[in-house]
Amino acid sequence: MLLDIPLAGLGWSLPCDIWSVGCILVELCSGEALFQTHENLEHLAMMERVLGPVPEHMIRKASSSAQKYFRRGTRLNWPEGAVTRESIRAVRKLHRLKDLVARNADHSKASLADLLYGLLRFEPSERLTAQEALDHPFF
């Protein structure tokens, strides 16, 4: 949800709910919340660890107040900007999304991972719509 809220200065939009559904599906699969943090930079670092880098064009569009989380406007200020060593450990223990699914799902791993990647795209306009998600082969 972080990239759809004012933290990144990109505003809120309906695909934020689709992102939330993706996070909930991961939690149902793994038994744990996907991004267990309340600290903004750590949250972004967790998102990058699980999903890959935040697209540069989104970083460039971020508000000036959100720019403090990035270096030279193109890269997350992590781990240099981490508040604590525990924060760094929390991020490092996370797995890529496909590996998380592979470790926790018994059936339809590839299909579930494909669905989740569609729901958890950084760029809201590229996320699956609710109808596209319901039409996905996983279901």
3-state secondary structure 2-55: HHHCHHHCCCCCCHHHHHHHHHHHHHHHHCCCCCCCCCHHHHHHHHHHHHCCCC
| Predicted confidence band of residue 120 (pLDDT cuts 50, 70, 90) | very high
Residue 86 and residue 101 share a domain: no
126 pLDDT exceeds 70?
yes
- Residues 131 and 117 grouped into a single domain: yes
Are residues 71 and 101 part of one domain?
no
pLDDT greater than 60 at residue 4: no
The tally of domains found in the chain comes to 2
The answer to whether residues 75 and 101 belong to one domain is no
pLDDT number for residue 7: 44
- Would 31 be classed as within a structural domain? no
Same domain, 120 and 88: no
Q: Provide the sign of the torsion angle of the four alpha carbons 120, 123, 128, 130, taken in this order.
A: positive
- 24 domain residue, yes or no: no
- Please state the separation of Cα 66 from the chain's center in Å: 16
Give the tens place of pLDDT for each residue, 47-105: 999 999 999 888 888 888 888 899 877 889 999 999 899 999 999 999 999 999 999 99
CA angle 70, 73, 33 (to 5 degrees): 40
Q: What is the pTM of this model?
A: 0.87
User: How far apart, in whole angstroms, are the C-alpha atoms of residue 114 and residue 136?
Assistant: 9
pLDDT value at 1 more than 50: no
> Which tokens hold the place of 20?
């939330």
Could you list the residue range(s) of the whole structural domain that residue 77 is in? 36-92
| 72 and 118 fall within a common domain | no
For residue 2, pLDDT over 60 is answered with no
Same domain, 65 and 105: no
One domain, residues 53 and 70: yes
In a domain, 59, yes or no: yes
Same domain, 106 and 70: no
What CA–CA distance (Å, rounded) separates 112 from 79?
30
Indicate whether 20 belongs to any domain. no
